[in-house]
Each structure stands twice: as structure tokens, then as C-alpha cells.
Homo-oligomer: A and B are copies of this chain.
Amino acid sequence: MAIELYASIYKEIFPFWNKISESERDFICKNSFLMTYPKGTNIHDGNECSGVILVRSGSLRLYIVSEEGKDITLYRLHKGDLCMLSASCVLNSITFDVIVDAEEDSECCVINGSAFSKTAERNPDIKIFALETAVDRFSDVMWVMQQILFMSMDRRLAIFLSDESTRTGSDTITLTHEQIARYIGSAREVVTRMLKYFANEGITEVSRKGIKILDKKRLRNLAL
């Protein structure tokens, strides 16, 4: 792909893009690769520095695996999302291994990790951006952890949506997140986040009209 095309993509994604020199922008673009990963491809296996991955289309799944092969999804990345945990050479303080797979056919821009890292060392703005991206994911992972460990709020929300759908005889729940939060004794932010999680899992879909239940069976299983 031509350098100009990478530049036009990065301009939209990287808040630091206009703060670095033209030669640095060129350097990043020249160290970028457009990759197409068929569904199921293992993109990163936790050991090496696979670089900074920007999702252009499709979706990636980040997860950890036990020695016995049990796996836990940390989060998913969609169009416009950035994977920083695959670039261990950029973030030295990340000492745990994650695995990244393409969950659908995915097209990604991959920036060579050491090239990105070199540029970040010279530009605090890049370094701050990389760290903030990682810290954002820290919050996601904590949320997953709390879900897994405490398993209460998602269950409560699933029960509520199931009941409400039965009650109204409709697959679409036309309440606001705020209202739902009040019903299940939670905060609006928690409901929004949980619904985002449900949407990522393909269980529900959030639209202007309300919350549409896509996978009744999985919702009911969650409510058990």
C-alpha cells in the first residue's frame, strides 16, 4: 500500500500524528504492512513483539490460556481499534502474554514494533498514547475479571432483559440504560458497558429504538 494511504489512515487514529515530524510520519508508514488474516488465524502468540495492530475490518479476539488449554477472552477489537499488547517491545512493563486471533476475516495495518518503539522514545506524545491505550484495556480486563469472579451484574441484566422481553412480548426493549440501571440496582455506566459486552458477544444489539435481543438462548443461559 502506498505511504499516503497509511498516512491518511493514521491521521484519523493517532492523536499525535500532527505533533511528530514529517520524516517520523514517513518512517512509521514505511514500517507499516497491510495484512489480511483469514478467520481463525493466530496473529500473535504471546512471545514475540508482533507490532502495533490497527483493525481495518473484521474482528480480533485477545485471550489468555492456561496450561491445560482453558481460555478466557479479555476483549475483542473491531474496526478502528488498536492492539498495543501485541507490541511488547513498545510497552516494556507489560510482562504477561496474550494471544490474538482473527475471529472473522480481518484486514489490519501492522506497524513494526521496534520502529514504533523508536519513534515513541523520541516523542513523549506517542509514548503517552501507547500507555493510555494499554491502561484503557486494563479497565476492560478488570471488568472481565470482576464478571468472572463475582458473576452477578451480567446475570441480573440478562434476567431483566429476558423477563422484560417475555413481559412485553417483544424482542426489543425500549428502556433507556438509565431506566434499566434503576431496575437492576446498578449505575447507567455499568449497564452501558455490559450492553456493549453483550453486543460484542452477539447476544444483543443496541440501536436507536432500544435493545434488541439477537440470541435468546445465550441470554437465557446467562440468566441461569
Contacts and interface: CB of A to CB of B under 8 A. Distances in A.
Interface of A: 64, 66-68, 70, 72, 91, 93-96, 124-125, 127-128, 131-132, 134-139, 141-143, 145-146, 148-153, 185, 189
A30 to B, nearest CB: 26
Contacts of A64: 142, 145-146, 149
Contacts of A94: 135, 138-139
Given A72-B149, A124-B124, A131-B128, A139 B93 contact: yes
Contacts of A72: 145, 149
A17 B70 CA distance: 45
A185 B138 contact: no
24 contacts: A64-B142, A64-B149, A66-B150, A67-B153, A68-B150, A70-B149, A72-B149, A93-B132, A93-B139, A94-B138, A94-B139, A96-B139, A96-B146, A124-B125, A127-B128, A128-B131, A131-B134, A134-B135, A135-B138, A137-B138, A138-B138, A141-B141, A141-B142, A149-B185
A70 B145 CA distance: 13
Contacts of A136: 93
Number of copies: 2
Interface class of chain A by DSSP: helix
Contact of A67 (B124, B152, B189): B152
Contacts of A143: 96
A66 B149 contact: yes
Pick the 6 closest A-B CB pairs, nearest first. Answer: A124-B124, A66-B150, A131-B131, A96-B142, A95-B139, A138-B138
A94 to B, nearest CB: 6
Contacts of A185: 149
A200 to B, nearest CB: 17
